[in-house]
Structure 1
Amino acid sequence: MSFQERKKKILMILDEFEALSVMEISRKLSISPATVRRDLQDLSEEGLLQRTHGGAMKLDNLPFVAFHKKQTANTESKQEIGKLAAAQVVDGDTIFMDCGSTVFAMCAHLKKLNKLKVITNSLPIVAELIDTPGIGINLIGGELDKERRAVHGDMAVQHIDTYHVSKAFVGVDGISLQNGLTAHSEKEAQITKAFLKNAEQVYLLTDSSKIGKDAYVKFGTLKSIHFLITDAQLTGPLKKKIEQEGVRVLQ
């Protein structure tokens, strides 16, 4: 049975039963548990189901559905960026992770580490990493944005200001040579500014569709970041000009 055939059948039985363990899916489809685990991970990375401890559940049964719908946009690009970003993290690091869906794509690859501390305002990141041995989680406190599944506000900024980390991984709504880093939301810009201030190295994760474009809240210059992690579509003069600002581009 091909992956596409297994994918269709797994989603069909999850639609019927809402949540199943690896062993239950294995028995129902007559495929090995190892194959089921691999398929569930692939489907989770595509944003088509939610992995649970020992199995999976359909997205309609989650409090994080809106986030996962956002996560499915530019899925392949986000997964590649997330994988490259996670490769910059080493055992023993303490890192900031914001609530963006591209930053969330790091999670599957961070699980390979033996010792890591994650400070985040993202509930989906907490849900994804909470059962991973070796990863400690510090959830930022403050006001909960139910749509974004993230914590914001003045108390959240105060929380962030009590820490200093080696690396921060943040997203952006727009980045340009003229206006630097921009966001659609003042509260998200506030959180990102706090991350930038309290990290030794800042990694900005975004697909190339947001480069050269602006949102309405300006919150930082290109000199606020050290690394730009993006897809292979960023080439030519724009890439060179960004690098001339002191930003190292990783693709």
Structure 2
Amino acid sequence: MNLNHRQQDILQRVRQTGSVAIEELASQFDVTPQTIRRDINILCESGLLRRFHGGAGLPSSVENIAYPTRQVLHHEEKRRIGRLVAQHIPDQSSLLINLGTTTEEVAKALVDHADMRVITNNLNVALLLSDNPSFEVIVAGGVVRRRDRGVIGEATIDFIKQFKVDFGIIGISGIDLDGTLLDFDYREVRVSQAIIANSRQVLLVTDHSKFGRNAMVRLGSLSEVDMLFTDQPPPAAMSELLAQAEVQVFVA
């Protein structure tokens, strides 16, 4: 899904202020309230905003967008990110890969590599990569989350702690403008933290819609990441934090 410039501006305003009023936006953009309502509806149907009477605000910090919706949301951007990440992963590497639709696009882009060793708690990633006969794919044990085939729980964390890999590839639900990495499920967050702790280099993969997005569980900080792969330059405040932490930024 591609947002037009006005829709992107509306989304950015909500992230800065917390909410917007339809009449106020119509005046600012010099369009009819009906036009703004259509924009708001598109953003709400995509899970990026939440409607209330007379305006819109940030989506819930408690619950993520449904997995089927996330699969199609910004799909082309995620595909570009996946291809760019694959260019930075040499053959014969060892990887830890977590849950998420963007990490699944990375897996698709890695299928043509050779002699990889991959540990994952994402059954979708495992199925994708097991098509390559030169790969060894190891699935972490634990509880399978039906909605997205993610594996989570204490057994998952204990399993991941057995390894030390070349690259940890993680997706995220949101990045606060202060550099905090955010997600919705504390059990999923603990698995991602184990991946960060047991990877020599941490690659964060996320499309631009996660910049400034709200979620209730703290995963960590941008300073714990070595490389950020995205599809648009981050906001200025976030770019400054990335530079201070010496995080390499790659824009697909």
Deviations 1:65-118 (A, max 9, x none): x75543111011100111111111111110011121001001222122121011
Counterpart position of 1:125: 125
The answer as to whether partners of 1:86 and 1:110 remain within 8 angstroms in 2 is: yes
Amino acid paired to 1:154: E
Amino acid paired to 1:184: F
Counterpart position of 1:142: 142
The answer as to whether partners of 1:114 and 1:135 remain within 8 angstroms in 2 is: yes
Please report the TM-score for the alignment, with normalisation by the length of structure 1: 0.70
- 1: CA distance, partners of 2:132 / 2:68: 20
- 2: CA distance, partners of 1:123 / 1:79: 19
SS of residue in 1 equivalent to 2:162: coil
Unaligned runs of 5+ in 1: 1-65
Q: Across the two proteins, how many residue pairs are aligned to each other?
A: 186
- 1: CA distance, partners of 2:117 / 2:204: 19
Amino acid paired to 1:115: D
Counterpart position of 1:77: 77
The answer as to whether partners of 2:102 and 2:171 remain within 8 angstroms in 1 is: yes
1:165 aligns with 2:165: yes
Counterpart position of 1:207: 207
Counterpart position of 1:105: 105
The answer as to whether partners of 1:177 and 1:242 remain within 8 angstroms in 2 is: no
Amino acid paired to 2:250: L
Structure 1 residue 167, shift from structure 2 partner: 0.4
- 1: CA distance, partners of 2:213 / 2:223: 17
Unaligned runs of 5+ in 2: 1-65
Within 5 Å, which residues of 2 pair with 1:151-230? Answer: 151-178=151-178, 180-230=180-230
The answer as to whether partners of 1:126 and 1:139 remain within 8 angstroms in 2 is: yes
- 1: CA distance, partners of 2:155 / 2:100: 20
1:238 aligns with 2:247: no
Name the % identity: 28
SS of residue in 2 equivalent to 1:181: strand
The answer as to whether partners of 2:179 and 2:238 remain within 8 angstroms in 1 is: no
Please report the TM-score for the alignment, with normalisation by the length of structure 2: 0.70
SS of residue in 2 equivalent to 1:220: strand
Amino acid paired to 1:133: P
